[in-house]
Structure 1
Amino acid sequence: MKLLLLGFVVLLAGCAGREPEVRTVRVEVPVQMPCRLPVVAVPAWATDSIKKTDSLELKVRALLAERRQRIGYERELLASSRSCS
């Protein structure tokens, strides 16, 4: 029993004589950031400027132009929303 106690004391004395090891550890943790994007501007739609008295050809051209505008606008909105996710 005394031998066991003596061994335990020697073991503790060996641990007490060492300097504690100090080291810096870098830990990377993801941090949520608020998504701040510029607001996508609504274009001036091509059909806003047509009148009832305009020709059918002019109205169809305006509708086709507005369709292209809408496709572009939707793509900008999708790109904006995907960049935050």
Structure 2
Amino acid sequence: MTRLLLGLCLLFAGCAASPTTPRPVRVEVPLIVPCRVPDVRPPSWAGATLKAGDSLQAKVRALLAERRQRQGYELELQAALRACR
């Protein structure tokens, strides 16, 4: 029994004495990258040119055109945000 314990101690001591060679480890770290998207300029809104004396038809046309402009402007903003992801 003593020999067995002595043999195990020598065996474990031999394993601890062997030097290990260092290996390089690749670590992937996410980096914050600034978004480089050109600025989206707001259009000149069609409703900005309306006057109080304009006809109702002209006002409705301008407001409908402004709605389309706003939808296009929002699509451009969303595309700029998607480009940063």
TM-score w.r.t. structure 1 length? 0.63
The residue aligned with 2:5 is 5
Please report how far the alpha carbon of residue 78 of structure 1 lies from its aligned counterpart in structure 2 after TM superposition: 3.0
In structure 2, how many angstroms separate the alpha carbons of the residues matched to 1:77 and 1:40?
7
Matched residue SS, 1:43 = coil
User: Which residue of 1 is the match for residue 45 of structure 2?
Assistant: 45
User: Which residue number in structure 1 is paired with residue 70 of structure 2?
Assistant: 70
Q: What fraction of aligned residue pairs are identical, expressed as a percent?
A: 55
Q: Which structure's relative contact order is higher, taking Cα pairs within 8 Å and 6+ residues apart?
A: 2
Query: 1:20 corresponds to which residue?
Result: 20
RMSD, aligned CA: 2.9
Which ranges of structure 2 fall in alignment gaps of 5 or more residues?
Answer: none
TM-score, normalization: structure 2? 0.63
| Residue of structure 2 equivalent to 1:79 | 79
Name the count of aligned residue pairs: 83
